[in-house]
């Protein structure tokens, strides 16, 4: 069964990628000189122009730089301003509830038990630096070893440089007399975004001066790191002062802006844009998506109907599930399939009209709820992450997520779960890839089926949504992924 109608290669090269949260100030290739007075061993909020031979860019490199491993930061009074930096609040041992680097050893939540696949916020720095200055939370994912992986996507303390921010995150190191004015968390210039909605970026908001060149880059979620074509956003005109960023999914996106001044100085800074959408959203991607066809499927809550009838094929998938057959803008499953109707109100066109099938949804006059926004074996979406959405789930409903590999070729799918715009779970990402996901081994064409997760939704009185993901294991086991072959049962 091949449902491809065309094939194209989707590629996006983002070029230069400045280190997250770091500003480089490099006039004519020389080391930056941004200090305005003699070395004083403190944070030096005045940004003096003489920095000991020009080797450290305003980060004086002395024995008491104010950022020396987390053991001494924040206890010295700044001699220039009289500001007393916030203490690090380092602890003797790591806490498993604070999600910061409590013992200041450079690692977050080491030795803490967790539920495999779950994702939560974390801070890659000392507790006293969290939510101060430029510092921003990232996320950590629980691995199959029941231990937390690396805290990624956040912005921790970095050397103090001239960018208008408190990069040390100590409450004292903000620089106010600089050509660059990078945003910190809570900055009103950085608003939240929405999937499929253009998000204009304006460089002059952060650097109003003249420039030789501009370059913007963006990093997104786990799918974006699998391969260059698996990106969850579009970035147009990245080498201009005013590019446009269009996300396809919820999640946190790190924006990096680099500008070269007319004098040849390279300025750069990064910040996080939160892209939020209501409801439950399931994303599936895999490195082989340009050449293989896997299907993302979400089962209707309150039903345990088999995915396929006995000896059925992927063409016979149940009408009790949202899939390629009954959840797209144009139904391709044949006359037996009506549009999935789970009793939810139709969603407004603004929720989907900006996507790959926006014109088709516009012709219908509404967005499906549930719906499949992107199918990566259609010409509009080759290589992109598949995405199923339930915009208005009800309290206490349980949604089962499944990935079907009916082609027989080895694939390495990753599934991400978003709840009210926040990623709460990731399954199948390295080092916990799905083993032996090679398609059918029997006579039928139902193929390999990975029953991924049950997600329970909780709707509060104010309408806010929280979700509990529960990884599914093989029958009778407490570990591992639930992968079967030619078994269409629920």
Neighbours of 257 (CB within 10 A): 25
Residue 37 pLDDT > 80: no
455 pLDDT band, cuts 50/70/90, is very high
Asked whether the predicted pLDDT for residue 36 surpasses 80, the reply is no
Give the model confidence (pLDDT) of 246-272 as tens digits: 998 888 999 999 999 999 999 999 999
Question: What proportion of the chain, given as a percentage, has pLDDT over 70?
Answer: 81
Residue 423 has pLDDT above 80, yes or no: yes
- What pLDDT score does 251 carry? 86
Q: Which helix (H) or strand (E) holds 451?
A: strand 448-459
pLDDT band at 363 (very low <50, low <70, confident <90, very high): very high
Residue 17 pLDDT > 80, yes or no? Answer: no
Tally the C-alpha atoms within 13 A of residue 37's C-alpha that lie toward its C-beta.
10
The answer to whether the beta carbons of residues 488 and 306 sit under 8 Å apart is yes
Using 50, 70 and 90 to split pLDDT, how confident is the model at 441? low
Query: If you average pLDDT over residues 186-208, what whole number do you get?
Result: 95
Average pLDDT in the 115-126 region? 94
Q: Which residue would you say has higher pLDDT here, 226 or 302?
A: 302
Question: Would you say residue 27 has pLDDT above 50?
Answer: no
Position 390 scores a pLDDT of 97
- DSSP 8-state code for residue 364: H
Assess whether pLDDT exceeds 90 at residue 283. Answer: yes
The residue-averaged pLDDT of 182-209 equals 94
Query: Residue 311: pLDDT band by 50, 70, 90 thresholds?
Result: low
**Helices (DSSP H) in 186-230: which residue ranges?**
none
Choice among 188-192, 405-409, 462-466 with the minimum mean pLDDT: 405-409
Local confidence band at 457 (pLDDT 50, 70, 90 cut-offs): very high
Element (H, E) at 257: strand 251-261
> Tens digit of pLDDT for each residue in 230-243?
788 999 999 999 99
Q: DSSP label at 430?
A: T
Question: Could you tell me the CA-to-CA distances from 21 to 24, 134, 158, 180 in Å, in that order?
Answer: 10, 8, 7, 14
> 228-242, 454-468, 471-485: which range is least confident on average?
228-242
Contact status, residue 108 vs residue 114, Cβ threshold 8 Å:
no
Listed by start position, the domains of the chain span 280-485
Contact present, 280 and 370 (Cβ < 8 Å): no
What size, in residues, is the chain?
490
pLDDT higher than threshold 60 for residue 18: no
pLDDT of residue 12: 29
Strand segments (E) across 348-429 = 371-374, 386-390, 398-405, 414-419, 422-427
Residue 132 corresponds to which tokens in the numbers above? 């101060």
Give the C-alpha distances (Å, rounded to integers) separating 299 from 32, 109, 187, 449, 489.
Answer: 57, 34, 40, 13, 12
Closest to 256 measured CA to CA, from 58, 14, 34: 14
Close Cβ partners of 90 (under 8 Å, ≥ 6 residues apart): 70, 71, 102, 103, 104, 126, 127, 128
- Residue 440: the pLDDT is 65
The pLDDT of residue 313: 67
Q: Does the pLDDT value for residue 50 go beyond 60? A: no
């Amino acid at each position: 069964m091949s449902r491809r109608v065309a094939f194209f290669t989707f590629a996006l090269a983002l070029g230069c990628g400045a280190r997250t949260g770091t500003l480089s100030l490099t006039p004519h290739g020389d080391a930056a000189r941004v200090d305005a007075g003699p070395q004083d061993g403190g944070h030096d909020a005045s940004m003096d122009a003489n920095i000991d031979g020009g080797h450290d860019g305003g980060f004086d490199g002395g024995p008491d730089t104010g950022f020396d491993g987390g053991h001494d930061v924040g206890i010295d009074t700044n001699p220039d301003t009289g500001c007393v930096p916030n203490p690090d609040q380092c602890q003797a041992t790591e806490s498993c509830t604070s999600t910061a680097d409590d013992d200041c050893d450079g690692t977050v939540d080491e030795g803490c038990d967790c539920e495999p696949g779950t994702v939560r916020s974390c801070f890659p720095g000392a507790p006293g630096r969290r939510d101060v200055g430029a510092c921003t939370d990232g996320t950590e994912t629980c691995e199959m070893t029941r231990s937390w992986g690396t805290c990624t996507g956040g912005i921790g303390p970095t050397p103090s440089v001239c960018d208008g921010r408190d990069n040390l995150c100590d409450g004292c190191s903000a620089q106010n007399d600089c050509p660059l004015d990078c945003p910190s968390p809570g900055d009103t210039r950085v608003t939240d975004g929405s999937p499929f909605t253009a998000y204009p970026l304006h460089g002059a908001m952060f650097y109003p001066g003249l420039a030789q060149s501009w370059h913007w880059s963006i990093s997104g979620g786990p799918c974006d790191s699998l391969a260059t074509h698996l990106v969850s956003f579009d970035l147009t005109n990245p080498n201009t002062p005013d590019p446009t960023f269009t996300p396809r999914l919820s999640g946190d996106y790190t924006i990096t802006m680099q500008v070269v001044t007319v004098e040849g100085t390279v300025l750069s800074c990064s910040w996080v844009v939160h892209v939020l959408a209501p409801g439950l959203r399931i994303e599936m991607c895999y490195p082989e998506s340009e050449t293989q066809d896997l299907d993302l499927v979400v089962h209707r809550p309150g039903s345990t109907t088999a995915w396929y009838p006995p000896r059925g094929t992927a063409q016979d998938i149940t009408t009790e599930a949202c899939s390629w057959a009954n959840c797209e803008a144009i139904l391709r499953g044949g006359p037996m399939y009506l549009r999935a109707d789970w009793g939810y109100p139709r969603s407004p066109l603004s929720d989907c009209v900006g996507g790959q099938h926006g014109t088709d949804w516009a012709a219908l006059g509404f967005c499906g709820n549930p719906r499949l926004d992107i199918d990566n074996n259609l010409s509009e979406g080759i290589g992109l992450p598949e995405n199923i959405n339930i915009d208005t789930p009800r309290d206490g409903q349980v949604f089962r997520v499944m990935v079907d590999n009916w082609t027989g070729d080895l694939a390495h799918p990753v599934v991400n779960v978003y709840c009210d715009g926040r990623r709460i779970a990731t399954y199948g990402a390295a080092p916990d890839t799905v083993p032996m996901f090679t398609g059918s081994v029997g006579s039928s064409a139902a193929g390999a089926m990975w029953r991924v997760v049950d997600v329970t939704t909780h709707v509060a009185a104010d309408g806010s949504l929280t979700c509990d993901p529960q990884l599914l294991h093989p029958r009778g086991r407490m570990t591992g992924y639930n992968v079967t072959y030619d078994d269409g049962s629920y």
